[in-house]
Amino acid sequence: MVSTVPTSERLFIGGDLNGHVGATNVGFERVHGGFGYDSRSQEGEDVLNFALAYDLLIANTVFKKRESHLVTFRSGQHSSQIDFILAWRNDRRDCLDCKVIPEECVVPQHKLVVADFRLRVRVHRDKRAKIARTKWWKLRGEVAQAFKERMLGEGLWEEGEDADDMWLKMTTCVRKVDSEVFGVSRGGKQEGKDTWWWNDEVWLLRRRRSVSSASTLTRVQPTSRAIN
């Protein structure tokens, strides 16, 4: 299943892998950070070989932690590290932290393991899309006073209400009143502030200057001087 996931996508594997990867990373420096717990078992070596085969990083072993933040399983006097979080090794820089929360249990005897990753989200916007905007720049003078009166008159929220309900009523009221009082733009494409001066006349003058410069360069003939 892991082989079907493109490396361009984020991959996180977490769970009880029932193996001890050990405190050191001897022989598995590529996937083991060197800060594990206890000794390595055969099952743990299988986990390391799995990570090595698919170029995965065991996040639990990357950061130096106290014992209580490494142990994922406790039963009486017995403690071990058998729950792991794995991710692409290329995402190592984006792994900010990984540790056990000692006070929390997901299931009996198994501690909660958490990892912090920094995710870069790219938002692709359609440049042709038109986004209507409220004309907030009209919030002055008589228009501002009219907006204030409408808000005080139509505000349906009261103190002591549920915060989420109160916030929903406020935002709904503000959107309704501001669109009616200030108006909404048509969402046309905005020109750059530094290109207002560019027009056909400027383009023609620049073109003539470029042609004139090119003609001057073609008239310059190289000269040679004999060296005695």
Domain locations along the chain: 9-117, 136-181
- For residue 228, the model assigns a pLDDT of 46
Element (H, E) at 87: strand 83-88
**Does the domain at residues 9-117 carry the CATH identifier 3.60.10.10?**
yes
- For residue 28, the model assigns a pLDDT of 97
Pick from 10, 44, 18: nearest CA to 109: 18
Q: What angle do CA 171, 174, 178 make, to 5 degrees?
A: 145
Is-above-0.85 flag for pTM?
no
Tell me how far apart the alpha carbons of residues 46 and 79 are, in angstroms, rounded to a whole number. Answer: 20
**What integer is the mean pLDDT of 184-206?**
66
Q: Which residue has the higher pLDDT, 216 or 79?
A: 79
Tens-place pLDDT, residues 26-65: 999 999 999 999 999 999 999 999 999 999 999 999 999 9
The 10 Å Cβ neighbour count of residue 65 is 18
Beta-sheet strands, E only, within 17-141: 56-58, 73-75, 78-80, 83-88, 95-107, 110-117
Tell me how far apart the alpha carbons of residues 41 and 23 are, in angstroms, rounded to a whole number. Answer: 11
Contact 56, 46 (CB under 8 A): no
Is 5 a residue whose pLDDT tops 70? yes
Tell me how far apart the alpha carbons of residues 139 and 212 are, in angstroms, rounded to a whole number. Answer: 52
| CA-to-CA separations, 22 to 15, 19, 91, 113, 135, in angstroms, rounded | 17, 9, 22, 17, 62
Size (the chain), residues: 228
Report the SS3 class of residue 137.
helix
- For residue 160, the model assigns a pLDDT of 67
Q: Which residue has the higher pLDDT, 20 or 202?
A: 20
Tell me how far apart the alpha carbons of residues 167 and 68 are, in angstroms, rounded to a whole number. Answer: 41
Is 212 a residue whose pLDDT tops 80? no
- For residue 196, the model assigns a pLDDT of 54
Helices 163-181 + 141-154 axis angle, to 10: 140
Residue 213: pLDDT band by 50, 70, 90 thresholds? low
Compute the mean pLDDT over every residue in the chain, rounded to the nearest whole number: 84
The sign of the dihedral angle between the CA atoms of 206, 207, 212, 214 is positive
Contact 90, 62 (CB under 8 A): no
